[in-house]
Structure 1
Amino acid sequence: MFIVFFLLGMFFFLFPKYLQFKGTNYQKASGNTFLRTLFNTGNYGEYLTFSKLEKLPGHYRLMTNLYLPKKDGSTTEVDLIMLHETGLYVFESKNFSGWIFGDEKNKHWMQTFPNKRKEKFFNPIWQNKAHINALKTVLGTEYDRFFKSYIIFSERCTLKKINVTSSNEKVMKRNNLITTIKKEISNSEKLLTRQDMDQLFFKLNKYTHADSSVKDAHVRQIQLKK
């Protein structure tokens, strides 16, 4: 009997989430299945951000998990890009809980948990700058001024003390994303035509859906840097 109730509970928990998932284009864009998304914290955070951006009006292209080449022969993984008529929006997703402390100028930020445990993590603004630099290398200098950096944290965390002074760097929780980006779009000039966006999409598309060898090599290079 316990097993029956457990399975029914799992069904009622998973089925609505499955319907929401299938109502987006995330699987097509990322290659991640429903279960691989739901039970991977990083993937799930990217999916939630992707699904919010999909609701924006107008013509734009969303791309996820791009493995871009770096000058040293390694790769950098870009979580999410939105190609929009007002620019190239690059998102770094941090699906974290706890209290978050950070400064734009510091190499490491801090995550503090309720049990007082603390963990350092690499400055996500610097991380996203590396992503943007890799994109500039691939796309060329003509797009240098088009980039906009967004660091997106989970609603489960508290941005306790975050110091950011650069106007082109945005750090926020996911529930503030749409309001913020709509405001930026409305205050920005149009830089790209629909044809420009489509051309950029096709140019970058070869860096998506990386095979396991590329992903494994990327993980190894990260581990070597620790």
Structure 2
Amino acid sequence: MKIIIFLLFTVLGLAGCGGKESAEQAAQDESQKMLMMDEVTAIDELPSFLKEGLSKEEQDELRKQIMPTLDDGLTPEERFQKLRRDAEAGDPDAQNALGAMFYTGEAVSRDAAGNIMDYDPVSAAGWFFRAAEKGHAEAQFNLGLLYLHGDGVEKDIETALKWFTQSAEQGNADAQNNLGVIYLTGEGVEQDSDEAIKWFEKAAEQGNEEAKENLEAVRSGQN
């Protein structure tokens, strides 16, 4: 039985790189950490690993999702600074978008030694956490993925499940699909096919293709 595990950010592909700092700690240490980092905004080009397999139209759409204000007349640097100000002022949309930029490398970070980091999952986790605490469904989904993989935070399936559930209950189809996978495989929870099907159905009703395929695979396996 083939089960497709959909593990994408809402706006970006997820790469694997473990971390040991919790999102809570990342959020608390963000201001101190920024003293060690030189942040700039990259040119309006997607990183190469995000472009792979995408048409020009799909790349343009992804770029708009990552930075929805590309047509605002601002330079990349001005746009990043505005987003950062909005995030620091508590705007959850800006906080989630800033987290996505740190994860993709769209916002470039330097470590304490001054070396440029390809991407910064710890800072991403901190910003996702701030937005997730405010009930931002996409940030909750993104944070759940980081906990699922231990990327920028300590791997914790239980915490991933918590954030996926909060996001799914708000109607996020990707979180619903991931919940279905977790319950189906029993990773970190008691295996529950009925619960898995419930979440696959909710996601499939919203047109989520991965959930449709997962649902079909589950039902085929039951026959």
Question: TM-score when scaled to structure 1?
Answer: 0.26
Q: Which has the higher strand share?
A: 1
TM-score by length of 2: 0.26
RCO comparison, higher one (Cα < 8 Å, 6+): 2
